[in-house]
Structure 1
Amino acid sequence: MMRHYLLRSVHDRAATAVRWDISAKRRWGLPGTECPACEAGGGTLGLTYPSVDLAPLPEEREYRRARSVPWDEYVRLRDRILPLMPPLAVVEPGIDLGPLEGSVRGHPSLIAMDETRNLFVQPEGAERLLAAGLRGIKPEPTALKVQRGAPPLLELELVVSGGYSADCQPERVGAPCPVCGTQRWGLLPYYWGLDPESVPDADVFRFWHHPGRIIVSEHFAEVLHGMGDTGLQVTELPVRRPSEAGAPP
């Protein structure tokens, strides 16, 4: 059985050889809203689709300003972009769209993660991942300005998939909302594991329940290890109930 790992950025960058920082924002995004039936809102960390280009839309400027709008207005804006979204994209209020615009200080490693869980690669890093036969590697251009002499940064667009293993599946609370489809869940147990049957055909992906969590396969972890000090670390995920439940990764 293939092992899977949670991918994290080392918070104390002073403890690594990686020295870099980023100041940027996404070009477009869906506004926030509140469902009139269940009052659910949006704004899930990690739901980003850098490949989406809204420039051809006559109303593209309506997607440039972060704000909250009434439900009917949100539905109009959401439905207008659905044909432009990647297959199986998760579309919710507050998602980020298009390339990142801004600046990068320092020199990120071949593969790097920022504080908001965006995953970047240098062109050489993308070539290594693809040459290793890793699945789900989709490098997208950014509009980031880098320091002189530094290579450009690409951003990996990740599929959102995966589910909790059966022994830590949270209980559903009530039925899905008939208006927005939101399903409320009970509390998670002290630990969580990955359902191996829910793993997509990709060696790196975002966890469906929490897209800010990036999961990688054993093969990806091996390739990452060969890239030297990247400022990233992996923690193995259980796929069944451990004999002694520990803290969640």
Structure 2
Amino acid sequence: MRYYRLDPVDDAAATQWRWSLDTKRRWGLPGTECPRCHSSPLAIALNYPSVDLSRLPEEREYRKARVAPWDEYVQLRDRVLPLLPPGAMVQPGMGMGPLAGRVRGRPPPVAMDGAWNLFVQPEGVDRLLAAGLRGIKPLPTAIKTARDVPPLLEMELQVSGDDVPECRPTPVGEPCPGCGVQRSRRSTVGAEWLDASAMNGLDVFRFRRNPAMTVGSERFVEVLRGMGDTGIRVTEVVVKQPSEAGAFP
């Protein structure tokens, strides 16, 4: 199976679609800094629109983007863990709940306004599901559209995939006992080859080592191309079995 990176096109002249979003996520975890290693990772691509915090007594504490002390962050994080989808990656700054706001213009049936945001209209959902693709989870949004523009749904993507062992960063020391962050050195291979055995059969997903990277299978890309111009650029990524990687310079 071949896989491709999905991105919105860079050149506005290369697509017929003229649209933009002015939206805000309903809830999110605050940013923070680990008091032991002083690491302060911040998720900009991890969003779980299916998570509903409306019944939490502390719901208002998740509404405003902010930086919180470590102990407060841990308490807020632990309260939402039971509500997250299976296998969810959790980081400070992670977004939850539906997007609210407005779309300007008319998006295509499958659309991206950033490398980690994938949207669909009902027509796009029907075509993706009819193809039997895995990893298709469209969710309602609170995004307002013009009267003649179909509703815009957001795809909640699972986190999956990995590099082959030769391309993975080398751990340095032990993980931080406080936050679990692992210091590492970049691979000396000088390339990024995805591990064919780590795809979990999904046809579209966020790449685990870089959740801002959206990956689609050739099955997904075939359906996408069948829709014509969607304003999405597809770039093939190299995928190998771990035993094959050592044979390449």
Residue 226 (str. 1) matches residue 249 (str. 2): no
2:132 is aligned to 133
CA distance in 2, matches of 1:144, 1:191: 39
2:122 is aligned to 123
1:236 is aligned to 236
Letter of the structure 2 residue corresponding to residue 115 of structure 1: G
Residue 154 (str. 1) matches residue 153 (str. 2): yes
CA distance in 2, matches of 1:223, 1:193: 24
Residues 74-93 of structure 1: matches in 2 within 5 Å? 74-93=73-92
- CA gap 1:242/1:232 in 2 versus in 1, 3 angstroms: farther
What CA deviation, in whole Å up to 9, does each residue of 1:91-144 have, x standing for no partner? 111101110111100110010011362100001101110110000100000000
Residue 95 (str. 1) matches residue 89 (str. 2): no
Letter of the structure 1 residue corresponding to residue 208 of structure 2: W
What displacement does 1:243 show?
Answer: 8.5
Residue 143 (str. 1) matches residue 142 (str. 2): yes
CA distance in 1, matches of 2:79, 2:26: 17
Letter of the structure 2 residue corresponding to residue 210 of structure 1: N
Residues 94-113 of structure 1: matches in 2 within 5 Å? 94-113=93-112
Letter of the structure 1 residue corresponding to residue 25 of structure 2: R
Mapped contact 1:138–1:157 kept (Cα < 8 A): yes
What displacement does 1:244 show?
Answer: 8.1
Letter of the structure 2 residue corresponding to residue 160 of structure 1: V
CA distance in 2, matches of 1:40, 1:25: 26
With structure 1 as the length reference, what TM-score do the two structures score? Answer: 0.94
1:182 is aligned to 181
- CA gap 1:116/1:164 in 2 versus in 1, 3 angstroms: closer
CA distance in 2, matches of 1:115, 1:220: 18
With structure 2 as the length reference, what TM-score do the two structures score? Answer: 0.94
CA distance in 2, matches of 1:194, 1:64: 36
Aligned to 1:120, what secondary structure does the other structure show? strand
Residues 28-107 of structure 1: matches in 2 within 5 Å? 28-107=27-106
Aligned length: 244
Percent of pairs with identical residues: 58
What displacement does 1:191 show?
Answer: 2.5
Mapped contact 1:101–1:144 kept (Cα < 8 A): yes
Letter of the structure 2 residue corresponding to residue 219 of structure 1: R
CA distance in 2, matches of 1:238, 1:116: 19
Letter of the structure 2 residue corresponding to residue 239 of structure 1: V
The alignment yields a C-alpha RMSD, in angstroms, of 1.6
What CA deviation, in whole Å up to 9, does each residue of 1:200-229 have, x standing for no partner? 231000000110000111111111110110
What displacement does 1:190 show?
Answer: 3.6
